[in-house]
């Protein structure tokens, strides 16, 4: 399967993605029972995961998308830009930041700094994918769908140079 100039092959099936999402949703639903967490999915990559996750939660939630970017093509630029920052209404709320993937943790570290300045009641991080071998952050990824190695993946919301987000499975470069 080709996305722009590169050949990709299936890495994680639809069924495995559904199972990972279900497990995360179960844990969040148990941990937040009786509360109404404010989910903050990070655009653009997490829109697919977030839409599946929110439908599997058994607790009521509110949703406020944010957008912070650091990637261009296949590499992190090492500079994070807030295109849609956390809203002031995070104050006093139980916030769950929802990411497609935490890689170096650099973007999340920056986002958490911004978020904490707005005085949320609690903050947790949920990521569908986590790359522990490249992680250098000082925060905990509280909910992880699945750990992966250093491979670059696309599909299920994740892009290769803005393409491939609509793929139902997750793919890796051949
Ligand atoms: P970090 O700042 O943790 O290094 O990178 C976080 C962001 O980089 C993620 O939210 C995601 O947008 C992007 N990213 C990291 N690894 C991958 C990957 O394997 N594939 C894609 N498509 N994006 C990635
Ligand atoms: Mg992202």
How far apart are the CA of 103 and the centre of ligand 1, in A? 6
- The domain 33-81+96-136 having CATH identifier 3.40.50.300: the answer here is no
Distance 164 CA to ligand 1 centre (A): 14
CA–CA distance, 87 with 79 (Å, rounded to integer) = 21
Domain regions of the chain by residue span: 33-81+96-136
pLDDT in tens, 73-113: 556 667 899 999 999 999 999 999 999 999 999 999 999 99
Read off the pLDDT of residues 110-138 as tens digits, 9 standing for 90 and up: 999 999 999 999 999 999 999 999 999 99
In the chain, % of residues over pLDDT 90 = 93
Beta carbons within 10 angstroms of residue 11's beta carbon: 16
User: Is residue 71's pLDDT more than 70?
Assistant: no
* Entry pTM: 0.96
CB distance 158 to ligand 1 below 6 Å? yes
Q: What integer pLDDT is reported at residue 72 of this predicted model?
A: 61
Please give the full DSSP string across 81-94, using - where no structure is assigned. EEEEPPPGGGTTSE
Q: Dig out the tokens for 13 from the structure.
A: 């099936």
Residue whose CA lies nearest to ligand 1 atom number 19: 152
């Amino acid at each position: 399967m080709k996305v722009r100039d590169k050949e990709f092959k299936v890495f994680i099936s639809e069924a495995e993605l559904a199972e990972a999402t279900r497990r995360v949703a179960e844990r969040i639903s148990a941990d937040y029972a009786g509360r109404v967490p404010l989910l903050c999915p990070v655009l653009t990559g997490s829109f697919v995961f977030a839409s599946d996750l929110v439908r599997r939660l058994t607790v009521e939630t509110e949703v406020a998308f944010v957008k912070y970017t650091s990637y261009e093509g296949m590499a992190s630029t090492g500079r994070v830009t807030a295109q849609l920052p956390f809203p002031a209404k995070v104050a006093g709320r139980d916030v769950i930041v929802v990411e497609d993937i935490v890689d170096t943790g650099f973007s999340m570290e920056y986002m958490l700094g911004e978020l904490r300045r707005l005085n949320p009641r609690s903050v947790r991080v949920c990521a569908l994918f986590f790359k522990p071998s490249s992680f250098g952050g000082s925060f905990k990824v509280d909910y992880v769908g699945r750990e992966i190695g250093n491979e670059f993946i696309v599909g299920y919301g994740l892009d290769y140079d803005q393409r491939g987000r609509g793929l139902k499975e997750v793919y890796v470069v051949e």
